[in-house]
Amino acid sequence: MENKSLNKNEPIYPIGVASKLLGISVHTLRMYEKEGLIITARGTNQKNRLYSIADIERMECIRDAITKKKYSIPSIKTMLSLIPCWKIINCSEEERMNCPAYNSIGTPCWAYDHKDNICAIKNCRDCKVYNDFTNCDDIKKLLKEI
């Protein structure tokens, strides 16, 4: 039997399973999506929400920030907006000037409708910025390096 490693970014869990794994309601998962904290993959019918292991890790980080550290949703969004996406994907100076994520604070880059920059043609769910920072500790490590 061939050993296939699991891709932690592959959306495999339906919303009901994800909510049970996290111990939170389906409504809360939908709210995280609406707030731009997560990007939900859609099933083939475009109605079913699917979550990956990385999504579960990200939401565990969010839950920990809310329940243990008493962070609010806006403060978590601000924390995520501090990820220097322009540096990670090497945006040009011109692209930065046209980028709402570079020019504002309070919303993660993947929650914007990008126009006139490199991200306009990218799928944010597949982006290094979204995928490499599922754990809150990774964000702090990145900021220490800057």
- Positive or negative, the CA dihedral 106, 108, 109, 113 is negative
Residue 7 belongs to a domain: no
Residue 56 belongs to a domain: yes
Residue 58 belongs to a domain: yes
Residue 89 belongs to a domain: yes
Residue 67 belongs to a domain: yes
Domain count, the chain: 1
Which domain covers residue 86, as residue numbers? 13-145
Residue 42 pairs in a beta bridge with 49
E strands in 38-129: 41-42, 49-51
Residue 39 belongs to a domain: yes
Output the tens digit of pLDDT for each of the chain's 146 residues.
454 677 888 999 999 999 999 999 999 999 999 999 999 988 667 778 999 999 999 999 999 999 999 999 999 999 999 999 999 999 999 989 889 999 999 999 999 988 878 888 889 999 999 988 887 778 878 877 77
Prediction pTM value: 0.85
Residue 4 belongs to a domain: no
Of the candidates 69, 79, 71, 72, the residue with the CA atom closest to the CA atom of residue 108 = 79
Give the domain CATH number at 126.
1.10.1660.10
DSSP H/E element including 13? strand 13-14
Residue 8 belongs to a domain: no
